[in-house]
Structure formats: structure tokens, C-alpha cells
Amino acid sequence: MRPSKQQLAVGLDAGAVSTRCVILQIGQGVVRYLGHGESESAGWMKGRLADPSAAQACIRSAMERAEAVARVSVDTVVLGIGSGVEGSNGRGLYEFGRPRRVTQDEIAYAVERAFKVRMEDDRLLLQMFPQDFTIDGRSGYRHPLGSTCSRLEANVYLLTTSQREHEMLIATTHGAHVTVEETIFEPIAAAYGSILPDERNRGVALLDIGSHSTGLVVYDGEAVVLAKSLTVSADHFTRDVSFGMKVAYEDAERLKVECGCAMVGLTADNSLIEVPSPEGRVSREAPRRQLNEILEARAEDLFLIIRNELAQVGMEQSLMDGVVLTGGGALLNGMCDMAERVLNCPARNGLIMGVENWPEELENPAWTAAGGLAIYSAKLKMKREIKKAPGLVGLVMK
């Protein structure tokens, strides 16, 4: 491999079913695609890391494939965290004692105080996003720099994850001979890769539907107002089909992918599908409608959960730019239609934007998180001239 003098930005999506790696190159303010690699995951059980050695081998395999395509050697990655993430609001107060102009250092200090909160055992602060600031009791300031006040409050959104699982995943990645530059919630990364700043400002939600984990992030006025892991994932759709159609899990996954649809009305009522039977028995036919009724019920359940989450933060009628679907679960036919029906807003699949030479084969919502992780790494490197503080990422990352 030839060493690259250009800065590299690498994203690693270590999922329970597939492990994906994307390598980008940063040059003169432009981000270009260099390579990608994928391997079938092993060492995971019900979305949790169970065998680090097996997962290490999968990570190394995906990275070596990406390195071979890009013809570079990778030293660091931004690693995605997909499950077990919880969000909450925080507040940091800085009283000056007398009125004075607010500086960047004072903003950083107020934000820093917001994340110095007592957390439950085995919870780790993963990310923090400033929402707005309150100046002398007047709320709603997004950029208070230069304002004059004697009391500055920072309102932030905190994301936490399991410390034990976080450390295990980082150790596993290090065991694959690569350093973790930063860890972030995968839907946040997918949003950076597929949603424009103006869309975040107007109000938009991103739902990253993975095989064993689903994550939600909601933006309003550029600020994160909700982010969390959800209980329903693509695996639940497959298990429902396995139980309802009385087929093996692998056959249920194939039926879902090849014949399934999340809305019954989008397919012909009288069509039939071939349903596999246990070994030694002939296959049988079943109405396609039966399969789709199962999938429709689960899809409706998922988006009803989303609607309830939106209502809790007052965003159920405020998604001017709708909902963006990413992850392998978004590939199921009819998911955008079901989202629009239940959430009463526009819906689309989230695809990577703003990367030169992005290959057509990766124009797929299953690759949005991995691509977004690499874009996030690139944005961090391009913003290094700004004094880095944990809470300021939300202010400088556009």
C-alpha cells in the first residue's frame, strides 16, 4: 500500500450482522471517497458483543478490504455506537457576578458545567449537544457570543451509553490494530451524512433501522431535542414472519427481503408466494397478503412508537422536513409510505451527500451510517483550528 500524505477520515460501523468500513480523503476543503469494505459480523448475540475475538476478526477483515480498495493504511477510525443509548436534558449555570460581554471561553465553561452531572452506575457520557442559552433569564439564544449579561445558562442534550459495553467495543476495535478517534451515536453520524443543515434547522427526524438496534434523533432549529435507542429493530420484523408463516428464521428473512412490503395496499391482493417447508416436506404456496399483513402490523407499531416519542418533545407536528430512514431495515418496501401515513409528514430514505466520487453501489441506506461516521471524522479534522471542547461539537459541526 502507498502511504497517503492527505488526511484520511475513516468510519467503522461494527454491526451485529454486517461490519462496514468507509475511507475518505480530505484535501483543500473537499471530501473524496477512497474505499470501502464489508464483512459478515460474528461474535454478537441479540445486538450485544459476546465474543470479542470473533468480532475483532470481522473488523480487521472489513478494514483490510477497505484499505485494499483505497490503497492506504488506516491508523484511526470514528466508531459508531448503535444500541443502549439514552438521552436527557442538562443545564449548566455560570454566574459572572457583574455584567460583562460573553466570550467563547465562558460559553465553553457553561457547557462544561452542564455535563458534570451524576450519572447512574455503568453509564458513560457519549456525546453532548448544546441546544440554546439563557441570558439573565431570557431564553432562546443560540449564539450568545458577544452578548452582555451577568448570568449565562447552557441548555444541552446529553447522550449516555453503557460504560462496560462501550469499553468492550473499543477494546475489540483496538485489538483489530486500529485506534478509536471518537465514538458517536450512529443515527447522529447518519444525519451528518444525509441531512442538510437547513433541514435540521426546519425540523427533521432520522430513524436508523438496524438489524438488532434502531436509533432515533430529532433536530429542531439545528439543535438535537431527542436522541435514543429504541426497542424495535429489523430483527423483530423477521421474527414476526418466522412465527406467523411458520418458517425458519433464515427463510423468514429471505421472504421479507424478496417479497415483503410494509403496507398491504401496495401489492396485489391475489398474488401468491412460495413458502419454504422443513426438510423432507414440499414447499407450499401462501397469499402474499398474509406476509405483508404481518410486516404492516410491525411497521405500524414502530412508527406509532416514533409518534409517541415525538409527542413527548412537542415535535409531532413540527417536522417540516419530515423523517429520514436509514439502515438495512429501511430497505423494506413500503416503509416510507407507512412513515408518512402514521407520522403525517414527508418521508425519504437517507443517502450520503457531499462526498466526491461516492460509488453508486453505496447509494443505499444500509451504508449511510458508515459513510456518515467517516464524514463526521472529516468534519472534526477540518474544524481543528477551533478550540476543541466536548460540548462545542454541536456548535461547530454544520
pLDDT above 70 coverage of the chain, percent? 94
Does the domain made of 86-159 have the CATH classification 3.30.1490.110?
A: yes
Q: What is the pLDDT of residues 175-213, one digit of tens each?
A: 999 999 999 999 999 999 999 999 998 999 999 999 999
Q: Compute CA 261 distance to the chain's CA centroid, rounded to the nearest angstrom.
A: 23
> Among 10-14, 129-133, 212-216, where is mean pLDDT lowest?
129-133
Burial class, 270, CB count within 10 angstroms (exposed 0-12 / middle 13-18 / buried 19+): exposed
- Three-class SS of residue 366? helix
pLDDT bucket at 121, cuts 50 / 70 / 90: confident
Count of other CB atoms within 10 angstroms of residue 342: 19
Amino acid at 47: G
Computed over every residue of the chain, the mean pLDDT equals: 90
| Ranges of H-type helices in 71-162 | 104-114
pLDDT for the residue 113: 85
Non-local (6+) Cβ contacts of 103 within 8 A are: 145
CATH of domain 199-349: 3.30.420.40
Do 199-349 and 86-159 have the same topology in CATH? no
Res. 396 pLDDT band, cuts 50 70 90: very low
Residue 245 has pLDDT above 90, yes or no: yes
Strand 86-101 relative to strand 148-162: parallel, antiparallel, unpaired?
antiparallel
**pLDDT bracket for residue 353 (50, 70, 90):** very high
C-alpha cell at 173: 476495535
pTM: 0.90
Q: How far apart are CA 116 and CA 137, in angstroms?
A: 22
In this predicted structure, what is the pLDDT of residue 282? 77
Question: Domain 7-84+163-198+351-396 belongs to what topology?
Answer: Nucleotidyltransferase; domain 5 (3.30.420)
State pLDDT tens for residues 19-47: 999 999 998 878 999 999 999 999 998 88
Residue closest to 253 by CA, chosen among 48, 43, 17: 17
- One-character DSSP codes across 47-65: TEE--HHHHHHHHHHHHHH
What pLDDT is recorded for position 384? 63
Q: Where are the domains of the chain?
A: 7-84+163-198+351-396, 86-159, 199-349
- Band of residue 279 on the pLDDT scale cut at 50, 70, 90: confident
Integer Cα distance of 358 and 356 in angstroms? 6
